[in-house]
Structure 1
């Protein structure tokens, strides 16, 4: 038998150069859109479940939350598609679901407040869920402004000292204001004017993270200089401890003057983690932990409000009707929820003071149970892991430290919040990111999300391809006179 004839040249055409062109890089924006639709579905169904369990008539009034949710995140998706097309497709959907679940729980607590007001013949309060939708809309504006204005996140390093100074001033303003303009529930962390209040510490944490990321990159030799070896570990020299001592002193002042345990823990913990990432030295973690313990022992011995927090943490039932009431009700709610929870709208989370803000985790644990609370914590874990993945993928050191710092500050804040609600650590007064009621936290966290998405876009974008310049036309090409080498005379 004769061998089969080879295929003709036209059967498998080869492009010029002999190689097929590379496929266009995938942006995964359609996957993001699909996940956003799933988050919108979960939020809308949860709202209807709350209405049904509260024996409310399901009207178009409840639909406004779902429509507002769809519009806001649809606009956010279009902004990401336009200004950060290669960003991680999971960051925005995870935030959308967390924010949606927070809106559902705030609406559920609004219904409980309405029923209590009707039972006691009080004036029915205005629903906080409406205000939360407005704050989410303003957060989206901040998010989109960051995407548009921050063309290159590396420009933040140029203004790092200015941003750090602004962050310190923002932390200090509530401390120097009179108590009537800055104090709520014993903590001087607000700026209050008639009809408006803001918590500047929420924005200060982002500015300080940018500052420390820039300083650690620029002064890395200072932090990685030769140190002393002890127990198989390398510790920094005493002369190099200045920056961490300065941060420690600022955090102690925040704890003492503003009575804000949460912010001091958050700032110091984030800076300590960034130091470890920049230097890879366990010695910084040991020294930082020792300074943290020393600072709290010092504050416990000298300041009464710190002793009250610690005593309430250790013995919450000793003063049940006063300082221990909040944490006791939180523990009762978590115990009532059990494994599967009482169901959305079927518990009594309004028995916990500040259930919409500091203790929204207790609301989740009571009505969604351990399973639902674990699912929410997994969502936060996904957000943090994707942020750390961005830090690993981005090419420059500033971007790596900035993305890691922004991701870890969410993780540390969540640990502090959940630890306080479950009595693992003393109560701190921090809010749960993207879920708790309040404008300052939402605006600051959406700004954080915008910066992280811009870093993710730079990390995932394909490397630019340099175009080869076409050869110059023959009539304008330069010419060169070549001479033949002269023959040497033979000897």
Structure 2
């Protein structure tokens, strides 16, 4: 069979049955971890295990049925990976709730996180039901970009934005608080993908050649400089190092994938280095993060030890956890401030050990791999870039979070997707998974069987011509 014939003859199977079996394993992980927390801390299973397990099962089955009826060819591995992470995160947050309750601090973060998961699953379903073709989003390229910029500026509005732990990235409306940057990152991917599809030919043109690398032309540096300035603005005005790194790194990844020019990586690396140097020299909060990363024990032992208290306690806890951990209830992860959000990986490392952390990293790696696989087989350029950008969000966010917790890089303040406590992050990440599922469904569908008697749409005909 010729290569063209093989392409035309290959058809992806739906694999919804395999997805259902993997979801059962994911529920075993989530509900089993929740029961293990009760046994480890109180010596008995939680009294609400049946209600909790039933609700978690209902949410997972709802996502599965939605994919079965609205996106039957979607990637069958993606949803079970996410369900396992979300279930494990709920169990670890519940563990921290029990520890704080024993210390006289009443918290119910696990229950609140389950409510946020319910909202996230609702938006997951709504996205798949309402969005039947991801290419429709390309019409809103500039609208998405404008909305992303407005969302980034909202926390700076007096009376609306609020500063929490030094970062001005939250808005508060009555009793509710929300982090608009989590939605902005999704809109930025849609805007960047739409822009690059239209202008990638011009951006791919080579300029001056230096050391076997073709640098871009000076006239084409406008977009990357604009994104660099936006990232610096987030760092300066919102004091959010993590989001600044995420936005600029995301744009650089998508720009490189669209143009296939290593010169953009060189330019981006130089701009990143310049921004890091300026941030260290001009802004005290950046300098503190960098210095405590290099010398955590120096700051831990002086009178201002709060600067490095989190990272040093994390190092002690993960060192005590060792290879297989102390088991749920055997450690003291509550000693680390914000262990339920920014430092939830530290709690996993202490009680599940290096083995548990590696398992979590492996799951994230598989999520990124499935998203990139979707980008590879996608038939349209816009879908390829959107899937790549969404994969980049997970890859960059997990790298900077786990890298910061393990002292590989300075702390950034981002949340760990699907694990950390936080409604804004959890809801946005469920929408990201819905978008990847929609693109993978479109990419894995068999091409239409074109005959002279059937009307053919322009898009379908174009795809068949490309395959030939």
The TM-score, its normalising length taken from structure 2, stands at 0.92
Q: By how many angstroms is 1:468 displaced?
A: 5.6
**Partner of residue 187 from structure 2, selected from 207, 212, 221:** 207
Report Cα offsets for 1:109-165 as digits up to 9, x if no partner. Answer: 111011111xxxxxx524211111100000001101110111110011101100110
Q: By how many angstroms is 1:43 displaced?
A: 1.5
Does the CA-based 8 Å contact 1:358-1:432 persist in structure 2? Answer: yes
Q: Which residue of 2 aligns with 1:405?
A: 389
Q: By how many angstroms is 1:365 displaced?
A: 0.7
Q: Tell which deviates more after alignment, 309-318 or 452-461.
A: 309-318
**Partner of residue 369 from structure 2, selected from 377, 382, 385:** 385
Q: Which residue of 2 aligns with 1:228?
A: 208
**Partner of residue 417 from structure 1, selected from 396, 401, 404:** 401
**Partner of residue 92 from structure 1, selected from 79, 94, 106:** 79
Q: By how many angstroms is 1:86 displaced?
A: 0.1
**Partner of residue 358 from structure 1, selected from 339, 342, 357:** 342
Does the CA-based 8 Å contact 1:254-1:260 persist in structure 2? Answer: yes
Q: By how many angstroms is 1:210 displaced?
A: 0.7
Does the CA-based 8 Å contact 2:314-2:336 persist in structure 1? Answer: yes
Does the CA-based 8 Å contact 1:327-1:423 persist in structure 2? Answer: yes
CA distance in structure 1 between the aligned counterparts of 2:221 and 2:267, rounded to whole angstroms: 9
Correspondence 1:59-138 to 2 at 5 A: 59-117=46-104, 125-138=106-119
Q: By how many angstroms is 1:24 displaced?
A: 8.9
Report Cα offsets for 1:53-86 as digits up to 9, x if no partner. Answer: 1134325412222111100010110001011000
CA distance in structure 1 between the aligned counterparts of 2:137 and 2:206, rounded to whole angstroms: 30
CA distance in structure 2 between the aligned counterparts of 1:24 and 1:309, rounded to whole angstroms: 51
Report Cα offsets for 1:22-46 as digits up to 9, x if no partner. Answer: 9996310010001001111122221
Report Cα offsets for 1:350-386 as digits up to 9, x if no partner. Answer: 0000000000010111111111100110000000001
CA distance in structure 1 between the aligned counterparts of 2:10 and 2:358, rounded to whole angstroms: 40
CA distance in structure 1 between the aligned counterparts of 2:229 and 2:409, rounded to whole angstroms: 22
CA distance in structure 2 between the aligned counterparts of 1:364 and 1:255, rounded to whole angstroms: 29
Does the CA-based 8 Å contact 1:181-1:193 persist in structure 2? Answer: no
Q: Which residue of 1 aligns with 2:425?
A: 441
**Partner of residue 318 from structure 2, selected from 334, 338, 354:** 334
Quick one: structure 1 residues 335 and 227, their matched pair in 2 at CA, closer, same or farther if it must change by over 3 Å? Answer: same
What count of residue pairs does the alignment treat as equivalent? Answer: 442
Q: Which residue of 2 aligns with 1:158?
A: 139
Do residues 369 (structure 1) and 353 (structure 2) align? yes
CA distance in structure 2 between the aligned counterparts of 1:460 and 1:32, rounded to whole angstroms: 15
RMSD over aligned Cα atoms: 1.5
CA distance in structure 2 between the aligned counterparts of 1:328 and 1:59, rounded to whole angstroms: 32
Do residues 35 (structure 1) and 19 (structure 2) align? no
- Secondary structure in 2 matching 1:85: coil
Q: Which protein shows a greater Rg? A: 1
Q: Which residue of 1 aligns with 2:154?
A: 173
CA distance in structure 2 between the aligned counterparts of 1:373 and 1:56, rounded to whole angstroms: 25
The unaligned stretches of length 5 or more in structure 1 are 1-21, 118-123, 471-491
The unaligned stretches of length 5 or more in structure 2 are 1-8, 455-468
Correspondence 1:260-275 to 2 at 5 A: 260-275=240-255
Q: By how many angstroms is 1:173 displaced?
A: 1.1
